[in-house]
């Protein structure tokens, strides 16, 4: 009985460890993520202001986002996993957003 409990605990710990390792392997580096996220946010803002209803611009936005991901050599999956990771780290996510806002505010004349 004790052996089976120990085996279950070890299996659980190893499963958790492999998921964490997998996520870190796919993680986009913070500065690069900041640049990709900036472009994603600008595109989403543009399409939202131009069309209003997400169903009207979903395909065009997806195509534009694919071009952004290709430009930065990341996949949509990498972006999503990295976004979830950084969003789960409030201080780091705040830093990402602050760096985006700083860059954008420097562009305004």
Mean pLDDT of all residues in 34-56: 89
What confidence tier does 31 reach under pLDDT thresholds 50, 70, 90?
Answer: very high
Give residue 3's pLDDT: 37
Average pLDDT of the segment spanning 44-71: 89
> How many whole angstroms separate alpha carbon 92 and alpha carbon 90?
6
Mean pLDDT on 67-90: 96
More confident residue, 55 or 69: 69
pLDDT greater than 50 at residue 23: no
Query: Which has more pLDDT, 99 or 52?
Result: 99
């Amino acid at each position: 009985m004790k052996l089976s409990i120990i085996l279950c605990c070890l299996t659980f710990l190893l499963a958790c460890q492999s998921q964490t390792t997998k996520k870190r392997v796919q993680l986009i580096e913070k500065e690069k993520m900041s640049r990709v996220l900036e472009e994603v946010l600008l595109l989403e803002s543009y399409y939202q202001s131009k069309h209003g209803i997400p169903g009207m611009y979903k395909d065009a936005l997806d195509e534009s986002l694919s071009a952004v991901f290709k430009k930065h050599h990341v996949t949509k999956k990498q972006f999503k996993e990295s976004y979830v990771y950084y969003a789960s780290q409030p201080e780091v996510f705040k830093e990402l957003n602050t760096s985006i806002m700083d860059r954008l505010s420097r562009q305004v004349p």
